[in-house]
Copies of this chain bind each other. A is one copy, B any other.
């Protein structure tokens, strides 16, 4: 990891430590269940860590909107549970072996438990959220959930699909990632009772930071430093995921090189030698630079979305977080 950006993120995290610790307590509290499998699976995945990006967005958005009541912590746990539920189902769909550096739930407890405990977390999150009795919150959250599930199906349809376009890819990213981050930041603004323009500005910030995060993540899949833990380079290629670097490279390669790429797609495993070839191709077509530039464009738009807000430490922290989104792991 780039020590600078890690330090940057750590500083941001440190500023909200009491809030984020309260979120962890809330997550563990609602992971309790008299049903053993629910408790075991939920506690396992919650204790496995994760970036907690969505709770952090919820907390800073709320505080920027001058709200710091208990619903900020509750909704932070809600968005993390929703994200966690999609991870459980994703791991079943992708037959994942590892998650957050530990064996995936589907490996330890089987697909059945992963599907059903995912459902439970999702249901619990919506039950927690609707308990706040705020229609605006409910509308934002359920619409985000609907878009997310649509994005998951869209992504599945694009796997190994050579007709996939950059537009298709961006639609998937918008649905599966940006819808929830946009909704999260908007909910912070709703809690703080900001005016229409304020809510829109924070929603836009969340949208663009979600887009930047996912596009950067999909690019890092090909270019992250090898000592990065818990991730295998070229995983998306081996799974036939039509992400931006691959789409760009396919579109800008000769017919013979395109064929070479297609043979490797969805193979299940990519050797270091094959990955070297792919990275060579992507260097020729400039696909990684193209993708990173796209991520940075979204990052700049995220930052611009905050223009209407006067300067404050919370605003500075959202700006610092935007930089981290791109710089992590490079």
Contact = CB atoms under 8 A, between A and B. Distances in A.
Interface of A: 33, 35-38, 86, 89, 92-93, 111-113, 115-117, 119-120, 122-124, 126-127, 130-131, 133, 135, 138-139, 142-143, 145-146, 148-150, 152-154, 156-157
A146 to B, nearest CB: 4
Given A123-B145, A146-B124, A115 B139 contact: no
Contacts of A89: 115-116, 119
A97 to B, nearest CB: 16
B130 A142 contact: yes
Contacts of A86: 119
A35 B153 contact: yes
Contact of A154 (B35, B124, B135): B35
Nearest to A112: B93
B126 A145 contact: yes
B120 A150 contact: yes
Nearest to A140: B130
A188 to B, nearest CB: 19
Contacts of A92: 111-112, 115
A37 B86 CA distance: 18
Given A119-B152, A120-B149, 7 more contacts: A89-B115, A111-B111, A116-B152, A123-B148, A123-B149, A124-B149, A131-B142
Nearest to A131: B139
A126 B127 contact: no
A228 to B, nearest CB: 27
A39 B86 CA distance: 21
A124 B116 CA distance: 18
Nearest to A95: B112
Contacts of A36: 157
A115 B89 CA distance: 7
Give 3 nearest A-B pairs by CB, closest first: A127-B142, A120-B149, A130-B138
Contacts of A127: 142-143, 145-146
A37 to B, nearest CB: 5
30 contacts: A33-B150, A35-B154, A37-B156, A37-B157, A38-B150, A86-B119, A92-B111, A92-B112, A93-B112, A93-B115, A115-B115, A116-B149, A116-B152, A117-B153, A119-B122, A120-B146, A122-B122, A122-B149, A123-B145, A123-B146, A123-B148, A124-B146, A124-B149, A126-B126, A126-B145, A127-B143, A127-B145, A130-B139, A130-B142, A138-B138
Given A130-B135, A142-B130, A156 B112 contact: yes
Nearest to A126: B142
Nearest to A156: B112
A148 to B, nearest CB: 7
A148 B313 CA distance: 44
Contacts of A152: 116, 119-120
